[in-house]
Amino acid sequence: MRIIRKTQIMPVAFGSVGQLVELTEGARIIHFGRQGGDLFIWVELDPDAPRAVFMFRAIVTGIPIKDNWHHRGTCSADGSVWHLYSMGEA
């Protein structure tokens, strides 16, 4: 059985590493958006699957993107446009 889980994503400053998030193997981001002034991801996952750690970065438009980053979603908040990237499993 799968569930949807909501996890807050903190915006990162240029040059910072990003945010580690523990999910499960096979987890799939279904939405990246804003709620109550904060950024979140909604993830579909199997709560009984083995745990996996992912690295995410929420960056504003204009920040350089490395080749090994994978785009996971875009949303606007407070006049800025945020882009969510993952760096795979940690």
Task: Per-residue pLDDT tens, the chain, 90 aa: give them.
Answer: 999 999 999 987 655 678 999 999 999 999 999 999 899 999 999 999 999 999 999 999 988 888 989 999 999 988 889 999 998 654
pTM score: 0.88
Which structural domain range is residue 69 located in? 3-89
Predicted local distance difference test score (pLDDT) of residue 78? 80
Predicted local distance difference test score (pLDDT) of residue 11? 86
Tally of structural domains, the chain: 1
Predicted local distance difference test score (pLDDT) of residue 90? 41
Calculate the alpha carbon distances from 54 to 18, 29, 62, 63 in Å: 10, 12, 23, 20
Predicted local distance difference test score (pLDDT) of residue 44? 97
Give the list of residues 6+ apart from residue 51 with CB closer than 8 angstroms, or none: 22, 23, 24, 25
Predicted local distance difference test score (pLDDT) of residue 39? 93
